């Protein structure tokens, strides 16, 4: 098993939209794969981070 994350970020959408996007994603993957979810704000940008378990190795970010 691998730990993966998905980030929902916007300075355009409301918190309700960001939270709903994260809730839809976590509902799709199920509670058995969910590790945690958190949120933060810097200026006008809202960020929701969802951490979860997966069988797929994470892809490497472009340098």
- Helix intervals (H) in the chain: 15-29
What pLDDT does residue 62 have?
66
Q: Is 10 exposed, middle or buried (0-12, 13-18, 19+ CB in 10 A)?
A: middle
pLDDT, position 13: 87
The predicted structure's pLDDT at residue 57: 85
- On whether the CB atoms of residues 59 and 12 are closer than 8 A, the answer is no
pLDDT in tens, 28-59: 999 999 999 999 998 889 999 999 999 988 77
Q: Which residues of 11-34 are buried (b: 16+ CB within 10 A; e: fewer)?
A: eeeeeeebbebbeebbeeeeeeee
Q: Which two tokens stand for residue 5?
A: 């994350």
């Amino acid at each position: 098993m691998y730990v993966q994350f998905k980030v929902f970020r916007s300075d355009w959408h409301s918190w309700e939209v960001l939270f709903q996007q994260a809730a839809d994603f976590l509902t799709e993957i199920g509670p058995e794969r969910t590790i945690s979810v958190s949120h933060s704000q810097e200026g006008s940008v809202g960020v929701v981070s969802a951490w979860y378990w997966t069988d797929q190795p994470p892809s490497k970010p472009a340098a």
